[in-house]
Amino acid sequence: MTRTNWSRFSKLALALVVLLSAFAGQAGAVSVASDDVPDEAQVGTQVTASVTLEELYRSPQLESWTLAGQTDLEDVTWTVAYYDQTGARVDQQSFDGQNFSGAEIATADGTSEVEVTVTGIVPEVESYSYDPAQTFTIISLDQTREGGSSNDIDSWTVHHYTEESAAARDELDSARDAIQRASGANTQQAQQTFNNAVEAYNGEEFNLATNLANEAETSANQARQSSQTTQLLIYAAGGLLVVALIVGGFLYWRSQQSTYDKLG
């Protein structure tokens, strides 16, 4: 490689390293230290979720930035608490509404960690789904910088349900497990009934879904029992055949012994 080509290659490699370093600094500017988010929640109930952010200033260009948040909860209250390096709370802000912005994060304020807490009412289910289970966004956080650019920090979703949908899901889960336990048996009918139950669940026909799921579970259990009975009969028949062969062989041997005695 000539000196000129090598110089061009070195400049290109250096530019690539700088670009990748800058991208990595922007993509990972904030870390989630911990979160306390429910796995599921019933429609109409009040829930709370909290997230703690750390490593707030990975990039020298991010000595200050603004935190924004969104949620699908209703009747929402946000609390943003600021902590210094000793773990002491140095400030706190409150916001209302499904969206908030304007929470300023700055090294000059001594902020080392930020805890975001959201409280609100679980929304209605817009569309039911058995697999994957229907969810809503309980908290989503963004980092916005001077100039209007922004990065997604993270987002958390929660499975929401009603009493009727939860009861139907429990029956569907039980039927699915029964079909899996009957693996190797003829579960075609059980599987088809289960598929119909899932369709009913997705269509919000929870009573029908429950009944079909029970039917699918019964069919799967019967198929499993029939398969086990068949296996036992096969084993029994095989055992009788072995016994018959042993007895037959023994009788043949005795007959041969009798023949030898007469010849003697």
Q: Contact 71/188 with Cβ under 8 angstroms?
A: no
Whether 260 has a pLDDT exceeding 60, the answer reads no
Kind plus residue range of the DSSP H or E element containing 42: strand 40-42
Average pLDDT over residues 257-263: 57
- Can you give the pLDDT at residue 94? 97
- Can you give the pLDDT at residue 9? 41
Q: Residue 132 — very low, low, confident or very high, per pLDDT cuts 50/70/90?
A: very high
Residue 183 pairs with which residues in a beta bridge? none
Residues 6+ apart with CB under 8 A from 116: 50, 51, 52, 53, 67, 69, 78, 79, 80, 139, 141
Whether 13 has a pLDDT exceeding 60, the answer reads no
Q: Residue 261 — very low, low, confident or very high, per pLDDT cuts 50/70/90?
A: low
Average pLDDT over residues 94-105: 95
How many CB atoms within 10 Å of residue 126?
Answer: 8
Collapse the DSSP code of 60 into the 3-class scheme (helix H, G, I; strand E, B; otherwise coil) and give the result: coil
Burial annotation 235-264 (CB, 10 A radius, 16+ → b, else e): eeeeeeeeeeeeeeeeeeeeeeeeeeeeee
Alpha carbon distance 205, 98 (integer Å): 31
Q: Which of 110-114, 240-244, 254-258 has the highest mean pLDDT?
A: 110-114
What are 14-42's pLDDT values in tens digits? 344 334 334 333 444 689 999 999 999 99
Q: Contact 73/59 with Cβ under 8 angstroms?
A: no
What are 195-218's pLDDT values in tens digits? 999 999 999 999 999 999 999 999
Q: Residue 230 — very low, low, confident or very high, per pLDDT cuts 50/70/90?
A: low
Written as six digits, the tokens of 2 are: 């000539």
Alpha carbon distance 160, 168 (integer Å): 14
Q: Which of the pair, 45 or 250, is modelled with greater confidence?
A: 45
Whether 236 has a pLDDT exceeding 80, the answer reads no
Residues 6+ apart with CB under 8 A from 261: none
Q: What is the mean pLDDT of the chain?
A: 83
Q: What is the reported pTM?
A: 0.74
- Can you give the pLDDT at residue 149? 77
Q: Which of the pair, 63 or 52, is modelled with greater confidence?
A: 52
Q: Residue 223 — very low, low, confident or very high, per pLDDT cuts 50/70/90?
A: confident
